[in-house]
Chain A
Amino acid sequence: MCNTEMIREKINYLKREILTACYRTREGHVASSYSILDILYVMYSRILDNDLVKSKDEKRDRFVLSKGHAAVGYYAILKEFGYFDDPLEMMCAFHSRLGGHPDCNKVPGIEASTGSLGHGVPMAVGMAMGLKIQKNPAHVYVLAGDGEINEGSVWESLLIASHNALNNLTVIIDYNHSTDRAIDLNNLQDKLSAFSFNTVTINGHDHNEIEKSLLIRDQRPTAIICETIKGKGIAEMQNNPAWHHRMPTDEEYNRFLEELS
């Protein structure tokens, strides 16, 4: 099996794990997690200078999942990369540390507790500022949803980031167009460029494009608009708003597992 096929199989495996966790717990956002899974996989396999041992090291790179509702996808990745070994089926159980949204005081590797939209991006901005003040060369990556960036606090924080030339910050937008039905972000690249971000648009499911864009460094902070498909990998789920927080039936679960095999 060539490397590309191995990675494809790994992504499908993680998607099956996510689906199974949500199917069994009746919790979690499957489609939102599938939307960002390729980005997270590339982040943790090829980019981030961070692992369980380094997760408290001051020099570590930071990744913040601002769209905290994709927690189950985040957990699958963190588990895959050795941050913890809790069964994902524990998600949202009474004494589980894996909640419906990530908690940085419970789960190793999580930099910020998110869930209410519009908090992770400004917290990442603060981290980037703090690292710069301390002349720490680490980089900060933050992933926000396209619906999330309706929030004013995101744009406020982009003003802070660009004014202070936080070139140690990369803002990744999961542009799966889920927000189009509410507020169309058309010309998002122009908007981010107008906020003085070095902005690129990529295919958010192409691992080489993701890797290349995450390695971009500039005098300005960088924004990566990832064109993604919400629910990527399951035809019936793809770009279907009904699947934002829906749980599969027995029949759907088996059929989706088949589709992901």
Chain B
Amino acid sequence: MKMRQQFPLSVGQSLDDNEKVVVLLGDIGVWSFHKYKEKYPDRVYNIGILEQATISTAAGLAKTGMIPVVHTIAPFIAERAYEQLKLDFGYQNIGGNFISVGASYDYSGLGMTHYCPADVNVLSSIPNMQIILPGTAEEFDSLYRQGYDNDRPTYYRISEDSNSVSVDVAFGKANVIKKGSAATIIAVGSMLDKVMNAVQRLDVTLLYYTSVAPFDYDTLINNLTGNKIIIVEPYYSGAVAKAIMEYSEPINAFMYNIGIPKTDLTTYGSRDEIDSVLGLTQEAVSGRISNILDLH
């Protein structure tokens, strides 16, 4: 099952479990919620295509004790309504959930207006925003259940790419996938599969992050291996590197970023085709990691 299909089930379950949950859909995903809309007409809304007001309205709902879940395409939450997230949720410090689809270029034929490779970096600038990137449908379900009612603003990033195996993930914590001695590799969300394939036969430590914020420093510090950290991210690269640089002490390692380069994405086609332009195919990721580790 795709994360996109899991999301209404998980949110629907929270509607059943918690009478404070209220869903605001930005005129997408409406069909997938129609049964819940019938069941909970007061708590499931197709709110319309007006993202700024939607986020502020969600904040108002939260102020009366509700737990808002807002859903639309990534750029219209993270970028169009950035100030509403920053002030109405961040600065006021109230809880809400923002579940995006589209990830970086999942709508690969639709162009830059519907791509959103900047979401994680942009939202990382909001001090108390939690940023969650599940790698599979099962992980989405687990992370959403763990976090949706924790009274903090939380961005859940749903992507079309899923890893082949789910990891037992904990909200705000990283997983140690394997331990080695040559270097530390960090895979974020849906990049785990490619990184696993790339490092299968390499003597490296592999850490898996589904929470970019809060960033789990303990797991990194306790498992730091060698003097190289290679970060593999499915968005404009840099958010994890920045988090690492914000650690209270200097971390003695060279950092390498593999992710989407900061450029306007002007091509269409399939996700794989766009990956090939950006050096993010399996072959390219494997090659780039090998190069960094001087294995050629």
Which residues from chain A sit less than 8 Å from chain B, CB to CB? 58, 104-105, 111-113, 116, 118-119, 121-134, 136, 152-153, 156-157, 159-160, 163-164
Contact = CB atoms under 8 A, between A and B. Distances in A.
B60 A105 contact: no
A104 B92 contact: yes
A57 to B, nearest CB: 12
A105 B93 contact: yes
B105 to A, nearest CB: 27
Interface in B23-65: 42-43, 45, 47-48, 50, 52-65
Nearest to A104: B92
Interface of B: 22, 42-43, 45, 47-48, 50, 52-66, 68, 83-84, 87-88, 91-93
Interface of B is mostly: helix
A197 B91 CA distance: 31
A123 B62 CA distance: 9
Given A118-B52, A153-B53, A160-B53, A123 B88 contact: yes
Contacts of A124: 60
A123 B57 contact: yes
Nearest to B84: A119
Interface of A is mostly: helix
A217 B5 CA distance: 43
A160 B57 contact: yes
B84 to A, nearest CB: 7
A134 B60 CA distance: 13
Nearest to B53: A156
Contacts of B55: 122
A125 B50 contact: no
Nearest to A58: B65
Contacts of B52: 118, 122, 152-153, 156
Contacts of A157: 50, 53, 56-57
A113 B65 contact: no
B245 to A, nearest CB: 29
Contacts of A159: 48, 50, 53
A157 to B, nearest CB: 4
Q: List 3 tightest A-B contacts by C-beta distance, closest first.
A: A126-B60, A130-B64, A122-B56
A123 B22 contact: no
B87 A119 contact: yes
A119 B88 contact: yes
Contact of A113 (B42, B45, B87): B87
Contact of B48 (A133, A134, A160): A160
A121 B48 CA distance: 17
Contacts of A118: 52
A229 B12 CA distance: 50
A160 B92 contact: no
Given A105-B92, A113-B87, A126-B57, A160 B50 contact: yes
Contact of B63 (A126, A132, A156): A126
B60 A123 contact: yes
Nearest to B83: A116
27 contacts: A111-B63, A113-B87, A113-B91, A118-B52, A119-B56, A122-B53, A123-B56, A123-B63, A123-B88, A126-B57, A126-B62, A126-B63, A127-B61, A130-B60, A130-B62, A130-B63, A130-B64, A130-B65, A133-B64, A134-B66, A153-B50, A153-B52, A153-B53, A156-B48, A156-B50, A156-B54, A159-B48
A255 B277 CA distance: 71
Interface centre among B57, B65, B88, by most chain A C-beta atoms within 10 angstroms, is: B57
Given A126-B58, A153-B56, A131 B50 contact: no
Contacts of A105: 92-93
Contacts of B22: 129-130, 133
Contacts of A58: 64-65
Contact of B64 (A113, A116, A134, A160): A134
A129 B57 contact: yes
A116 B83 CA distance: 9
A165 to B, nearest CB: 12
Contacts of B68: 126
A164 B60 CA distance: 15
A159 B57 CA distance: 12
Given A128-B60, A133-B66, 11 more contacts: A105-B93, A111-B63, A112-B63, A123-B57, A126-B56, A126-B57, A129-B22, A129-B57, A133-B22, A160-B53, A163-B48
